[in-house]
Amino acid sequence: MLYPLVAGVLFGLYFSLVGIGLNLVFGVMRIVNLAHGDFLMLGAFVAFGIYTAAGLDPLVGIPVAFALFCVAGLLLYWVLVPRLQRARDPEMLSFILFFGFSQVIEALTTIVFGTSERSIPSRQLASSLAGIRASLFGGEATNGPFRIFGLSFPASWVVAATVSVIAIICVYLYLYRTRLGTLTRAVMSRRDEAVATGINVDRVSAAAFGIGLGLAAVAGVFAPFMFGSFTPAFGIDATVTSFVVVVLGSLGNPLGTALGGVVYGVSYMLVQTYLSSWADLLPYVLLIAILLLRPSGLLGRRVRVA
Amino acid sequence: MIRKASIALAAALTLGTQAFAADAPAEIKIGTLYASSGRYASISMPVHSALKLWVEQKNAEGGVYVKAFDKKIPIKLVAYDDQSNTATAATLYNQLVTQDKVDMLVADSGSVLTAPAVTIARDHKMFLFDQTGTGASFFSKDNPYIALMADPVSTIWPKPVADFITHDGPGLGIKKVAILYSTNEFTGTQANAVRKFIKDSGAPIEIVYDQGIPTETTNYTVIINNILAKEPDAVIHLGYAPNDIAFLRNVQDVGAKFKMLFCIYPGLETELLEKNVGAKGLQHVFTYVPPQELEYPVNFGMKMSDFKKAWDAKYKDGKIEFGFNSVAGYTTALVLEKTLSVATSLDRMELRKAVFSLSGKLKTLDGTFALDEMGGQIGELTPLGQLELNEHGHIKFVSIYPHETATGKPVYPRP
């Protein structure tokens, strides 16, 4: 029982990172980015490229992927979103637009990279940190299994969970300790009132969109380690799981995603242990259950504003 | 009188031949599906690419010889992308049969994407060239519209694995076995077969873990922990290539050491698995020995070395791996070619008769093509082998079982 619980928390924290960008974008703009998983997949390609081309620790991919996709997000925002927001039903239209965008990303990536599975050796993740640790404290400069309560877990999971916690804290600090974050929360709360008070909603939204995509790409850096391998088609599954995690926590509340991720992770590991053939159904069962029992999500308000 | 009769006969033959040639189609339409994306892309694209390679080769020579029209006719490959989706595949198979009216129907690779074709072919009484769909339910006495081209049918495929465990296992100390399988037609059937072979053998082997998991599973850490808790002497993991990649990586990640570990795809798609799991991660893993390692004598088509050369020349970018599935695609192509060369018409039942007439006679780079009465492939068997590292640290196959094809002894328990 202890093993699936600990594994579930580690796995779930990673899924918080997977979903938090999607929720930030929805919270600010009320649009559903169905291409979210594809940006995650592109983040995996960034880590793969950094490792194979330069032989660097895939952790280097985190700042690179974040910066790259933040900028891409800002550019994409100005091309797509203002037009979308002018539509009568931007929420519904965003489904169609980003679904199409997802297909384009997948098709282009397939043309460029092919369809085969790709991965990065697990011991390469955080190999630079292992090297520093070995030079300071001795021992081997490799990342073997990590022991928690005497149980053995993949070191890559622990690294991914740690980075996820750091990312969630960063999002919290951004939202609650910066001026742009305060403005972001204002837009999330009431977009029309934010416009009326003179907030540059487009600037705030563009920043949130860029950060959302950046976080997705950072989650993608860990995808080769968390999912065994990845392909250009990997994005759709990631989007579905992200959506479940986000709805579980609360749509529009990025910090609720952290809780949603952990609940999803623990549930998944428990189902895999006791009802393994049914593990695939879990995301959909959770989605239906939360929508029936608490539509606003675990940390949501009783009435959804959107 | 005799002269007149001879002239009349010659005239009739000439007219007949002219009519024969005039009826010949401009091209032979071969309809198939492939998955350029999704879970089955890595097993579908090599099969499809091999088929394309053959079509290009043959068309460059003016086509294939078609006995029904006594001439060479170019081939047109009508191929659609099912994106690994069974619903899309069902629609597209229907389109191939009803709209494109293809002369020969070839299924996509793997049991999951072959399953819709089996039903559709049967409904339309169209003969299905099943490339690698080995699921047991496809083959029955009341379905004459199918034959398996290039993999052994799943009910017999894992026999060498089960036989090794039941015959040699007790002597090595194997008493407890764990079976983990993905719940789909292909690996589900293999799991059933292994279970049955072990139980029927009467050997003192206990199955201590027997679980099915969704084919889409990408994370095995908790499952590996559950298997370890049962302390098995041998673990049999039956999954598709992405399953094997994730499973073997997780085994390494948690530092699990199973005394014997069998997986399907390290043998079938060795390049792909080595790229993703690493040579060290594959060391001592038991798997099927593919035809690439065996160099079967051929009486039709290219030898393995020539096929590899042709493959490398056409697919230089390395985006699609050479392996068991590429050989399967080429084997299907050879059966199609040979079938056209012996069938007296393109009628479905005549095609079936022609395919079955090749059984036991056609020897390709994939081994001897042999069918049972239901169309299941029983000739192209793969022995059990173990992967070891050579002096350069690269993977090499050691054939273990049956003993008559063995090239070495098993390393058991895994050090």
Question: Which ipTM did the prediction report?
Answer: 0.86
Eight-state DSSP code of residue A118: B
Find the closest chain B residue to A7 by CA distance: B222
Give φ, ψ of B150 to 5 degrees.
Answer: -130, -5
Cβ–Cβ < 8 Å for B130, B148 = yes
Interface test with A, best of B249, B274, B320 (most A CBs within 10 A): B249
Cα distances from B322 to residues A52, A173, B129, B311, B329, in angstroms, run 21, 50, 22, 8, 11
Cα distances from B353 to residues A162, A251, B126, B142, B360, in angstroms, run 63, 61, 13, 16, 14
A227/B219 touch (CB, cutoff 8 Å), yes or no:
yes
Q: How many CB atoms lie within 10 A of CB B305?
A: 11
Cβ–Cβ < 8 Å for A212, A73 = yes
Q: Which of B225, B242, B256 sits opposite A229 (nearest CB)?
A: B242
* Closest to B303 (Cα-Cα) out of B358, B366, B360: B366
CA distance A25 to A68: 17
Residues 248 through 287 of chain A touching chain B, CB cutoff 8 Å: 269, 272-273, 276-277, 279-280
SS3 string, B187-203, reads HHHHHHHHHHHHHHHCC
Percent of chain B with pLDDT over 70: 95
Domain for residue A119, yes or no?
Answer: yes
Residues 67 through 96 of chain B touching chain A, CB cutoff 8 Å: 83-84
Give the pLDDT confidence score for residue B337 in this predicted structure: 97
Domain for residue A191, yes or no?
Answer: yes
- The answer on pLDDT for A291 being more than 70 is yes
- The answer on pLDDT for B4 being more than 60 is no
B221 and B131, same domain (yes or no): no
B37/A233 touch (CB, cutoff 8 Å), yes or no:
yes
Amino acid at B234: A
Eight-state DSSP code of residue B371: B
Cβ–Cβ < 8 Å for B246, A199 = no
Cβ–Cβ < 8 Å for B34, B81 = yes
Domain for residue B268, yes or no?
Answer: yes
Amino acid at B3: R
Give φ, ψ of A176 to 5 degrees.
Answer: -110, -5
B37/A114 touch (CB, cutoff 8 Å), yes or no:
no
Eight-state DSSP code of residue B43: H
Domain for residue A245, yes or no?
Answer: no
B148 and B184, same domain (yes or no): no
Buried b or exposed e, range A12-44, using 16+ CB within 10 angstroms: bbbbbbbbbbbbbbbbbbbbbbbbbbbbbbbbb
Q: Residue A304's pLDDT band (boundaries 50, 70, 90)?
A: very low
Asked if A228 has any chain B CB less than 8 Å from its own CB, the reply is: yes
Task: State the smallest CA–CA distance between residue A249 and chain B in angstroms.
Answer: 23
A237 to chain B: which residues are within 8 Å by CB?
216
A274 alpha carbon, distance to own chain's centre: 27
A69: tokens are 């996709």
B254 and B318, same domain (yes or no): no
B243 and B388, same domain (yes or no): yes
Give the pLDDT confidence score for residue B108 in this predicted structure: 96
Domain for residue A300, yes or no?
Answer: no
Give φ, ψ of A83 to 5 degrees.
Answer: -65, -40
Domain for residue A258, yes or no?
Answer: no
B186 and B255, same domain (yes or no): yes
Give the pLDDT confidence score for residue A301 in this predicted structure: 59
> Strand B176-182 to strand B234-238: parallel, antiparallel, or no bridges (unpaired)?
parallel
B328 compared with B17, residue with greater pLDDT: B328
Coil/strand/helix, residue B290 = coil
B339 and B303, same domain (yes or no): yes
Q: Residue B411's pLDDT band (boundaries 50, 70, 90)?
A: very high
Q: Which domain holds residue A214?
A: 2-130+147-236
Give the residue-averaged pLDDT of B238-254: 94
Domain for residue A76, yes or no?
Answer: yes
Which of A7-21, A137-151, B1-15 has the weakest average pLDDT?
B1-15
Coil/strand/helix, residue B81 = strand
Q: For the segment B363-391, what is each residue's pLDDT rounded down to a tens digit?
A: 999 999 999 999 999 988 889 999 999 88
CA distance A72 to A80: 12
Q: What is the CATH number of the domain that holds B49?
A: 3.40.50.2300
B40 to chain A: which residues are within 8 Å by CB?
none
Task: State the smallest CA–CA distance between residue A277 and chain B in angstroms.
Answer: 4
Domain for residue A275, yes or no?
Answer: no
Burial class (CB in 10 A: 0-12, 13-18, 19+), A138: exposed
Q: Which of A113, A229, A237 sits opposite B245 (nearest CB)?
A: A229
Q: For the segment B216-226, what is each residue's pLDDT rounded down to a tens digit?
A: 899 999 999 99
Coil/strand/helix, residue A229 = coil
CA distance B158 to B171: 20
Q: Residue B19's pLDDT band (boundaries 50, 70, 90)?
A: very low
Asked if A124 has any chain B CB less than 8 Å from its own CB, the reply is: no
CA distance A99 to A37: 11
Domain for residue B50, yes or no?
Answer: yes
Buried b or exposed e, range B108-124, using 16+ CB within 10 angstroms: bbbbbbbbbbbebbbeb
A4 to chain B: which residues are within 8 Å by CB?
222
B108 and B244, same domain (yes or no): no
Which of A5-9, A302-306, B162-166, B345-349 has the weakest average pLDDT?
A302-306
Please count the structural domains in chain A. 1
Asked if B319 has any chain A CB less than 8 Å from its own CB, the reply is: yes
B181 and B131, same domain (yes or no): no
Interface test with A, best of B34, B37, B228 (most A CBs within 10 A): B37
Find the closest chain B residue to A237 by CA distance: B216
Chain A to chain B, count of Cβ pairs less than 8 Å apart?
121
Asked if B241 has any chain A CB less than 8 Å from its own CB, the reply is: yes
Give the pLDDT confidence score for residue A286 in this predicted structure: 85
B324: left (phi over 0), alpha (psi -120 to 50) or beta: alpha
> Strand B28-34 to strand B384-389: parallel, antiparallel, or no bridges (unpaired)?
unpaired
Give the pLDDT confidence score for residue A141 in this predicted structure: 60
Give the residue-averaged pLDDT of B171-200: 95
Domain for residue B387, yes or no?
Answer: yes
Please count the structural domains in chain B. 2
Task: State the smallest CA–CA distance between residue B34 and chain A in angstroms.
Answer: 12
Domain for residue B378, yes or no?
Answer: no
- The answer on pLDDT for A142 being more than 70 is no
Domain for residue A262, yes or no?
Answer: no
B314 and B400, same domain (yes or no): no
B229 and B169, same domain (yes or no): yes
Domain for residue B413, yes or no?
Answer: no
Give the residue-averaged pLDDT of B168-183: 96
Most confident of A8-17, A115-124, A188-197, B9-18: A8-17
Give the residue-averaged pLDDT of A271-293: 85
Q: Which of B38, B223, B278 sits opposite A276 (nearest CB)?
A: B223
Asked if B41 has any chain A CB less than 8 Å from its own CB, the reply is: yes
Q: Which domain holds residue B363?
A: 9-154+294-368
CA distance B151 to B268: 11
B117 and B241, same domain (yes or no): no
Task: Map tokens 């993977």 to a residue.
Answer: B395
Strands (E) in B220-308, as ranges, are 234-238, 261-263, 286-288
A11 to chain B: which residues are within 8 Å by CB?
219
- The answer on pLDDT for B2 being more than 60 is no
Q: Which of B35, B84, B319 sits opposite A114 (nearest CB)?
A: B319
CA distance A90 to A31: 7
Give the pLDDT confidence score for residue A146 in this predicted structure: 83
A277 to chain B: which residues are within 8 Å by CB?
183, 211-214
Asked if B250 has any chain A CB less than 8 Å from its own CB, the reply is: yes
**H runs (alpha helix) in chain A:** 2-29, 36-54, 61-85, 90-113, 127-137, 155-177, 179-189, 191-196, 201-226, 235-249, 256-274, 282-293
Which of A126-140, B276-290, B316-330 has the weakest average pLDDT?
A126-140
Instruction: State the Rg of chain A over Cα.
Output: 19
Find the closest chain A residue to B222 by CA distance: A4
Cα distances from A250 to residues A12, A235, A257, A305, in angstroms, run 15, 22, 7, 12
Give the pLDDT confidence score for residue B6 in this predicted structure: 55
pLDDT, averaged across chain B: 91
B244 and B319, same domain (yes or no): no
CA distance B125 to A229: 40
Cβ–Cβ < 8 Å for A51, A120 = yes
Domain for residue B71, yes or no?
Answer: yes
Q: How many CB atoms lie within 10 A of CB A289?
A: 11
B278 to chain A: which residues are within 8 Å by CB?
121
